[in-house]
Structure 1
Amino acid sequence: MRRYLLAILFVLTVFTASAQQYTLSGIITGQKNEAVPFTSVYIRNSTYGTTANEEGHYQFKLSPGTYNVTYRFTGYQELTENITITDHDEVHNVQLPDEIFKFSRISDKWKQNLDPGDTIMRMVISSRKAHLEEADSYSCSVYIKGVQRLLSSPRSLTSAAVRKALDLDSNGRGILYQSELLSTFNFKRPNRVKEVTIASKEAGINTAFSYSKGSDLQVNFYNDVIKINGLSSRGYVSPVASNAFTFYNYKLIGTSVQNGRTIDKIKVIPRRENGQYFQGYIYIVEGDWRIYSTDLLLTNKMNSLNLVDTLKISQQYIPITDSVWMPTAVQLSFSGSVLGFKFGGYYQGIYNNYKINPKFPEGFFNGEVLRIDTAANIKPENYWSANRPVPLTPLETRDYRKKDSIAAYKKTDQYLDSIQHTKNNINYPGYLIFGYSASNRSEKDSLYVFPFLQTFYYNTVEGFGINAKVRYTHVLDELHSYSITPAVRYGFGNKLFSANIHSEYLNDPFHNAKYYVDFGSDVLDLNNVGTRSLYFNTLSTLLSENNYVKYYRSQYAGFGYQRELWNGILWMGGLNYASRSQLYNTSFGHIRDVKNKEYTSNNPLAPPGTPADDHSFLFPQNQALTFKTSISFSFDQQYITRPTGKFNLPSKYPTLTINYRKGIKSVLGSDVDYDFASADISQSNIRIGLTGFSSFKLTGGDYFNNNTLYYMDYYHYLGNQGTTFDPTYIGSFHFLPFYTYSTNGAFFEAHYQHNFAGSILNKVPFVRKLKLEEVIGANYLTTKGNPNYREFYVGVQRLIFRVDYGISYAGNKKYLQGFRIFYGIR
């Protein structure tokens, strides 16, 4: 019996020892004892590894045994060390030999070529598709780390208070933001992705851009075009693209032998001084003709980057099997300068524990591209210490501790009490345009006061008026909330008082479900799609005597509901009852008298020359009970699931929406009797190679019963009158009058726009510095009883500013032409 017990004890001891993991760590330096940051470190013939930090320190856990550990970084020779892990942590420092590339047989093999680098890259490009598709699917573990630093700042703009708030040293340097992410990543060809975030941590203020999931750093140079999210609205031509020789020259720098493989170092040289091209070096495995590593650069001078001045992309590939290579380390390093503030940083991704062609369950790829675990953001420090593959530098550790302490303090009653009053102080310039927000300590109750520009107004129907509106929001819990928006409106000209309430209840954020209820009275636009805001209508009326918007009175009540029935299928429906009355102009004031200009009637169908005080008939007072419903289909809908709900991403396919509206006669005294149906198909940001992106919308519909309906029941369009316009919606017109083409019959409208994203003006010296985006577009409309309408335009935009010049036609006659501008205010 004792012998059996001893045997069992021995087996348990051996098992425990073998299951125990120990830390292998060390410092990686070069021949001059300089630290080699971000060196890839992995176990040879495996997919397990890590990356050194900025100071060359590395660490990762291993079970007892003997390992061949490979150290790799661009600019140094690959080094493999035989290391044995026993029953304790192991420290192993290494010194990487400098990179040595020599011309050898390769120069003789292709001596008839202008440069052997061209022949090498032709071989790589001919193998591009095979390497792109060599793994049908895979899964791996991902670690992403990001750091943004302020490298220097002008003393004149950096006070002691600012340096203290940002934790900067006396030279204005410090860490502004750092983040970490641990996740599992799954991929299936051609483009199916599913990722689960296990842990996430961040500290500081993100001042540039960020990557919050593993797919953000999946920079695959075997694709023809590389898109760098956040830095450019255009893509970049890969040096391995099928048409790469149109854009690049290549020069062989030399060859070396790394672990028995011949590696060719190729210099990538853009053929043009400016454009969407990389420069730098790419390393090729000779014979396999595949990418070994990359060291490529984008610059603001050549590539018109946004936010940053330089971006360097470094990748290291390793063999997962004899025929499949995958990136084990990816790093994006950036730097820039704004108003004398110099900043820099990096995002690095470590991909390991690859499984090639795993068997995923049926329905695994269901459109959910990212799921964030409910406990991802609350992992304690001991969790990160045990699972973080890249050691923190002392500065990063200090920054985390300080900012974690500050974050904890900001949750205390003492801090919340001290800032409550200050936080809710009103900023009057901000209130003018953006409104005013206030909340209580817990932020479960908040109040928003709509901007001043939407509060005081003038029009010829009401005269000067007040439209006061606030929104109160209460959060019940993470998944339920409601808002109530009361509004009062009074016109001093016609002495008309209105009051109404709009309320919403969000009850299921995982299905985009909400209820809404409306009731009260209001003065509404006869065009129910929308014309000009109160602010712009006030300006055009008082300054130019252009009273574009026509109004009527409505006393109403209604309710509705919406819900995503299945992924990508959103249904909504509602019932509304309204009593509607015609209104007339009562006020004719103006700031300046415009020569040969008079106000027009509030009846949009009144003929030209009708006096402004016209009381002609448009519709009788009527009651309308209306049912509305619609269903939208977003094909191949992808989404992110957070603990607080589901968030849909833009689909790469068009969205189809079917609408139905019915006027219900006789119920509750309703006078209307009609049936209307329409369908539209639309898509935004369709990427067209290197030439930017397109957007379109097509809409058609008809009244298949129009026994009784009134002007506000017609189908209306998002037209435009006046110099300003709103380009943020693809279904709008530049010159179409607001009311002329409104119809109670069949119609069809089409809109198309292409943004060249700088691909034309970027070739013009000096102009390229402005980073302007060129826009062209066309709109078309055909309706019953009106000549066909069409318009064409060209424009340029930068951020929120845009200027267009266009021309329009009604039938065969030119209608209007001129400039339209947008500066961020609608």
Structure 2
Amino acid sequence: MERVFFFAPFYESIIESYNAELYIKGKVNVKKKNFIIHYLPTMFRTRKGMHEYMMETYSELHFNAPNRYEQEVKASMGTTKGFWEADGRLMEHFHINLYSSTLLYDKLLSPLASDARKYYTYFVDSIIGDSHNRQYKIRFMPKNRSYQLVGGYMIVSADVWSIREIRFSGRSETFRFTNLLKMGEVGEPDEFLPVEYDVTGNFRFLGNVIDGSYVATLDYRDIRQRKPAHMIRRTGSKYDLSGIYKMSAVPDAYRYDTAYFNRLRPIPLTPHEQELYHNYSQLRDSVPTKKRKVIWGQFGDALIDYYTVDLNNYGRLRCSPLINPFMFGYSALNGLSYRQQLRYNRLFSGDRRLQIAPGAGYNFKQKEFYWQVRSSFDYYPRKGASLSLEFGNGNRVYNSAILDELKDIPDSIFDVSKLRLNYYKDLFLTMRHRWEIVNGLTLDLNLSMHRRTDTAKGKFTVIDSGTSPTSEPGEPSTSPEVDTDVLDKLPHVYNSFAPGIRLSWTPGQYYYMSGNRKVNLPSKYPTISLDWERGITGVLPNSNKYERFEVDFQHTISLGLMRDFYYRLGWGAFTEQDGIYFIDFANFRRTNLPTGWNDDFGGVFQLLDRYWYNSSRKYFRGHITYEAPFLLIPHLNKISQYVLNERLYFGALFVPRLKPYIELGYGIGTHIFDFGFFAGFENWKYKEVGVKFTFELFNR
């Protein structure tokens, strides 16, 4: 295994690119089902009286190092549509670089990784062949029960220490699978590539049981091995990776053309498979399809599944299910919330693209409905140039007059839990022009307009603690430190008209060109952004004057084997205030709707009361997050198998009256849900604990 570990990184990158013909044949058997199966996103629609289904696809597969696959389906046929996605991620089982440190798009830790000995135990099962052609069958087993680890065996060639065959088994909460890969012959061009796949799986969810089996063959051509570094001649920017990245759209190739597919099929059908096709043809031809039934069937799909509406020459509309319990989320701060989203795309000549994305959500604790429409038109994609328009309702905030009154309350009696503030509803419109000046340096020119309406008609109260002689304990009373006469005389509707500039710079920005479209890739260096906005009076009635500056600095450092370290620093301030204005920062704001595992990668405060986001004209904050698949849970074997990733959170905020606010957290991510536990501290004193919970099943 020492020799296998030594050669694996070299074999991982030895192939630069290839083209191949990929044939996949799959069968599924619905052993048990109930009504729940019709409400599972990504699940294909079963037919009454049918339990076995099959499908075949023939594709052109193009690979470019390090791990980019482009698959274009040329033909397909079968007894149903879409059962490939019964688990939502089946195709990744046929896109495997065996020598990579991770498998299935970074979901599994490979037993061939350089430090895999921390997680796997190896032993020789048997020795195959004579001294001139010796091979070792080596079994590997995970040391801990985890969904990131697999068990199985590999057959290793003793001469070049390459893998000839590998079989590994893994599982999630709903899916168990076994994948068998057979590699090309030693000395042949496809020696380091899989030539055959044999995948079996079992899907179980709330009484539904589905078995699946899939076989695949690859016929390679144009295999190119990577040249030594001193022989590679670069042209253009060293950050342009267009030569190893490529993407293209996959057309809808579903067709029922037996004669055509018979000419393509490299593996003949078994008698049982021929019988499945025959039975399906008879059932399809004998059962008349009622128009009303088709309409209701399509409507049912829209309720329970992600679906795409093809508008012919007018683009495509991507919709999330109308009834989807996995769009709910819960946190101690925001309570229960729900979200829904749509996405419209249309491509034009020159890779120009129009996107429109409406979204809506409801927060049950605050009893607030949120909606917004985001749209953008990439008119010069080679330079990242776009025009965007966004409108909707934003977070409710209070104005600076209340802030001025609150600052007079002594710290000794100030208690944010006893404040009843009049928040303003927000209706906003933002126009933006984006342009990439040079690689990694982006300039945004913004124009924002807000209309804020008072929800409490200027009333401001404090819940009395019982010390006031004029009120009973616990009853609301007007605070003697707050001049309510001033608040009552204020207008109840405010507008703002504010141009702004945002400058963002990422050094060492790698990218590739997909046609005329520039697609940015992660950089090894941090991203820094400067944000400026100035409110102008006189353009709209009751408009306010202010100036806002914000600086944001964030960086993600990959530590290998699915481990990441992230830090983020931010500062912001309102200056040159004149009259009434609203403290509403761009980078430091609360989130009211459910966000999953990638919620700014830990760049938010989970327990911070909504008051504090608008409590100061300036702020400074910092966040640190560490993510890894094995932190605390591996020591608890009974539950370690359910955890995909673990995180440690640290966040600090400095504003007046909070010097500092500190939040510590621990989170776990699973296939079904994400869960986090957080503790908050104000001014170095313990304040509270809380949790965050979001569904992730079928959303990863």
* TM superposition score category, shorter chain reference: 0.5 to 0.7
Specify the SS of the correspondent of 1:739: helix
Residue among 103, 110, 127 paired with 1:227 = 103
Q: Which residue of 1 aligns with 2:676?
A: 804
Q: Which residue of 1 aligns with 2:224?
A: 355
Distance across 1 between alignment mates of 2:29 and 2:53 = 7
Counterpart code for 1:141: N
Per-residue CA distance 1:135-165 (angstroms, 9 max, x = gap): 3x533222334444333513777999x9996
Distance across 2 between alignment mates of 1:765 and 1:798 = 15
Distance across 1 between alignment mates of 2:284 and 2:436 = 36
Q: Which residue of 2 aligns with 1:142?
A: 20
Counterpart code for 2:28: L
For residues 153 and 392 of structure 1, do their structure 2 counterparts lie closer, same or farther at Cα, with a shift above 3 Å needed? Answer: same
5 Å matches for 1:358-757? 362=235, 365-366=241-242, 369-372=245-248, 377=253, 389-390=266-267, 419-420=294-295, 423-424=298-299, 504=375, 506=377, 508=379, 515-517=387-389, 525-526=396-397, 551-552=423-424, 559-562=431-434, 571-578=443-450, 580=452, 582-584=454-456, 615=487, 623-632=495-504, 636=509, 651=522, 653=524, 656=527, 658-665=529-536, 668=539, 671-683=544-556, 688-689=559-560, 693-694=563-564, 696-703=566-573, 705-708=575-578, 710-715=580-585, 728-729=599-600, 730-740=602-612, 742=614, 747-757=619-629
Q: Which residue of 2 aligns with 1:336?
A: 202
Q: Which residue of 2 aligns with 1:73?
A: none
Q: Which residue of 1 aligns with 2:117?
A: 244
CA RMSD of superposed structures (Å): 5.9
Q: Which residue of 2 aligns with 1:315?
A: 182
Counterpart code for 2:522: S
Retained in 2: the 8 A contact 1:292–1:318? no
Q: Which residue of 1 aligns with 2:332?
A: none
Counterpart code for 2:178: L
Retained in 1: the 8 A contact 2:138–2:156? no
- Please report how far the alpha carbon of residue 792 of structure 1 lies from its aligned counterpart in structure 2 after TM superposition: 0.8
The number of equivalent residue pairs is: 618
Q: Which residue of 2 aligns with 1:45?
A: none
Q: Which residue of 1 aligns with 2:126?
A: 253
What percent of counterpart residues are identical? 12
For residues 717 and 784 of structure 1, do their structure 2 counterparts lie closer, same or farther at Cα, with a shift above 3 Å needed? Answer: farther
Residue among 260, 264, 268 paired with 2:139 = 268
Counterpart code for 2:242: N
Using the TM superposition, name which of 751-760 and 386-395 deviates more.
Answer: 386-395
Residue among 96, 119, 125 paired with 1:217 = 96
Retained in 1: the 8 A contact 2:44–2:86? no
Distance across 1 between alignment mates of 2:44 and 2:423 = 55
Counterpart code for 1:309: R
Retained in 1: the 8 A contact 2:397–2:424? yes
Largest Rg, 1 or 2? 1
Q: Which residue of 2 aligns with 1:282?
A: 154
5 Å matches for 1:184-199? 184-187=62-65, 191=66, 193=68, 195=70, 197=72, 199=74
Q: Which residue of 2 aligns with 1:166?
A: 46
Counterpart code for 1:184: H
For residues 374 and 612 of structure 1, do their structure 2 counterparts lie closer, same or farther at Cα, with a shift above 3 Å needed? Answer: same
Distance across 2 between alignment mates of 1:394 and 1:435 = 35
Distance across 2 between alignment mates of 1:689 and 1:518 = 38
Counterpart code for 2:554: I
Retained in 1: the 8 A contact 2:665–2:677? yes
Distance across 1 between alignment mates of 2:277 and 2:381 = 33
Distance across 2 between alignment mates of 1:452 and 1:195 = 32
Retained in 1: the 8 A contact 2:679–2:690? no
Per-residue CA distance 1:689-730 (angstroms, 9 max, x = gap): 55x544635132344853447552453775779999976342
Retained in 1: the 8 A contact 2:531–2:551? yes
Retained in 2: the 8 A contact 1:725–1:734? no
Q: Which residue of 1 aligns with 2:61?
A: 183
Counterpart code for 1:680: F
Per-residue CA distance 1:104-124 (angstroms, 9 max, x = gap): xxxxxxxxxxxxxxxxx3444
Q: Which has the higher contact order (CA 8 A, sep 6+)?
A: 2
Distance across 1 between alignment mates of 2:391 and 2:34 = 55
Specify the SS of the correspondent of 2:210: strand
For residues 740 and 678 of structure 1, do their structure 2 counterparts lie closer, same or farther at Cα, with a shift above 3 Å needed? Answer: same
Counterpart code for 2:110: Y
Retained in 2: the 8 A contact 1:717–1:732? no
Residue among 86, 92, 98 paired with 1:207 = 86
Per-residue CA distance 1:2-33 (angstroms, 9 max, x = gap): xxxxxxxxxxxxxxxxxxxxxxxxxxxxxxxx
For residues 416 and 639 of structure 1, do their structure 2 counterparts lie closer, same or farther at Cα, with a shift above 3 Å needed? Answer: farther
For residues 660 and 760 of structure 1, do their structure 2 counterparts lie closer, same or farther at Cα, with a shift above 3 Å needed? Answer: closer
For residues 384 and 671 of structure 1, do their structure 2 counterparts lie closer, same or farther at Cα, with a shift above 3 Å needed? Answer: same
Distance across 1 between alignment mates of 2:422 and 2:493 = 16
Distance across 2 between alignment mates of 1:778 and 1:653 = 22
Distance across 1 between alignment mates of 2:250 and 2:276 = 25
Distance across 1 between alignment mates of 2:433 and 2:125 = 65
- Please report how far the alpha carbon of residue 218 of structure 1 lies from its aligned counterpart in structure 2 after TM superposition: 1.6
For residues 444 and 132 of structure 1, do their structure 2 counterparts lie closer, same or farther at Cα, with a shift above 3 Å needed? Answer: closer
Per-residue CA distance 1:447-494 (angstroms, 9 max, x = gap): 9999899xxxxxxxxxxxxxxx9999796979665769799x9xxxxx
Q: Which residue of 1 aligns with 2:404?
A: none
- Please report how far the alpha carbon of residue 678 of structure 1 lies from its aligned counterpart in structure 2 after TM superposition: 1.8
Distance across 2 between alignment mates of 1:646 and 1:132 = 28
Specify the SS of the correspondent of 2:175: coil
With normalisation by structure 2, the TM-score equals 0.67
Counterpart code for 2:109: G
Specify the SS of the correspondent of 2:612: coil
Where do 5+ consecutive residues of structure 1 fail to align?
1-120, 409-413, 454-468, 490-497, 529-544, 589-594
- Please report how far the alpha carbon of residue 127 of structure 1 lies from its aligned counterpart in structure 2 after TM superposition: 4.4
Specify the SS of the correspondent of 1:371: coil
Specify the SS of the correspondent of 1:651: coil
- Please report how far the alpha carbon of residue 626 of structure 1 lies from its aligned counterpart in structure 2 after TM superposition: 0.7
5 Å matches for 1:77-156? 121-129=1-9, 131-132=11-12, 135=14, 138-154=16-32
